[in-house]
Amino acid sequence: MERRQSCGWDVDTDLVVRARKGDRAAFGLLAAELAFRFLAVSRKIVRDVDLAEDATQQALVAIWRDLPQLRDPARFDAWSYRLLVRACYAEGRRYRQWSPNLRILPADEPSESRPLDAIIQRDQLETAIRRLSAEHRTVLVLHHYADIPLERVAQILEIPLGTVNSRLHHAMRAMRAALDADARPVAAEGFR
Amino acid sequence: MTTERDSRTRIVLSWLREDANQDAEPVLLRALDEVDLTPQRRSWWPAVRVAQIRRVRIVIAAAAVLVVAIAGYKLLPRLSSIGEPSSPSAPPSPARTFTHPDAVKPRPIPSGSMAPGTYLVSDPTLTLRPYSVVVPAGWIGGDGASRGDAFEGTGVELTTWLITHVYADSCHWTGTLVPVADTAALVAALTAQVGHAHSAPVATTIGGLPATKLTLSLDAPSDVTGCEVAGHVHIWPAPGADESGGWAMIPGETITAYIIEKSPQLMVLMTVQHKDSPPADVAGLQQILDSVEFQP
Q: What is the pTM of this model?
A: 0.46
pLDDT digits (tens, 9 = 90+) for B238-287: 788 876 567 878 888 899 999 999 988 999 999 999 888 999 999 999 99
In the predicted structure, residue B114 carries a pLDDT above the cut 70 = yes
User: How confident is the prediction for chain B on average, in pLDDT?
Assistant: 76
Give contacts of A81 with chain B, Cβ < 8 Å.
Answer: none
Selected residues 12-51 of chain B with any CB under 8 Å from a CB in chain A: 12-13, 15-22, 24-28, 30-32, 34-36, 38-45
Give contacts of B10 with chain A, Cβ < 8 Å.
Answer: none
B28: left (phi over 0), alpha (psi -120 to 50) or beta: alpha
Measured in angstroms, the CA of B65 and the nearest CA of chain A are apart by: 38
In the predicted structure, residue A186 carries a pLDDT above the cut 60 = no
The residue of B111, B157, B158 whose CB has the most chain A CBs within 10 angstroms, and thus the best one to mutate to test that interface, is: B111
Give contacts of B31 with chain A, Cβ < 8 Å.
Answer: 31, 35, 56-57, 60-61
Find residue B156's DSSP bridge partners: B147
- The secondary structure of A42-87 as a DSSP string is HHHHH--HHHHHHHHHHHHHHHHHHGGG---GGGHHHHHHHHHHHH
pLDDT digits (tens, 9 = 90+) for B195-227: 888 999 999 999 999 999 999 998 877 777 778
Q: Report the pLDDT averaged over residues A55-65.
A: 93
Q: How confident is the model at residue A47 (pLDDT cuts 50, 70, 90)?
A: confident
By three-state DSSP, how is residue B3 classified? Answer: helix
In the predicted structure, residue B46 carries a pLDDT above the cut 70 = no
DSSP B110: P
In the predicted structure, residue B96 carries a pLDDT above the cut 50 = no
Nearest residue, CB atoms, B111 vs list A58, A97, A105: A58
CA separation (Å) from B139 to A63, B115, B147, B148, B252?
21, 8, 5, 8, 21
Nearest residue, CB atoms, B17 vs list A43, A62, A145: A145
Angle between helices A76-94 and A150-157 (to 10 degrees): 60
Q: Contact A96/B151, CB-based, under 8 Å?
A: yes
Nearest residue, CB atoms, B24 vs list A39, A90, A99: A39
Q: Yes or no: say if B182 and B266 are a contact pair by the CB < 8 Å rule.
A: yes
In the predicted structure, residue B92 carries a pLDDT above the cut 80 = no
Find residue B206's DSSP bridge partners: B209
Q: Report the pLDDT averaged over residues A55-79.
A: 86
More confident residue, A108 or B207: B207
ipTM of model: 0.78
Give contacts of A32 with chain B, Cβ < 8 Å.
Answer: 28
* Strand-strand pairing, B117-121 and B107-108: parallel
Number of helices followed by number of strands (H, E) in chain A: 8, 2
Q: What percent of chain A has pLDDT over 70?
A: 75
Number of helices followed by number of strands (H, E) in chain B: 6, 17
Q: Yes or no: say if B139 and B216 are a contact pair by the CB < 8 Å rule.
A: no
Q: Contact B35/A64, CB-based, under 8 Å?
A: yes
What pLDDT, on the 0 to 100 scale, is given for residue B152?
A: 55
Q: Report the pLDDT averaged over residues A37-54.
A: 90
The reply to whether B226 touches chain A by the CB within 8 Å rule is: no
d(CA B68, CA B73): 8
Selected residues 11-30 of chain A with any CB under 8 Å from a CB in chain B: 22, 24, 27-28
Amino acid code (one letter) for B262: K
| Angle at the Cα of A169 from the Cα atoms of A163 and A171, rounded to 5 degrees | 100
CA separation (Å) from A46 to A37, A95, B209, B230?
14, 10, 37, 18
- Greatest mean pLDDT among A67-76, B139-148, B206-215 lies in B206-215
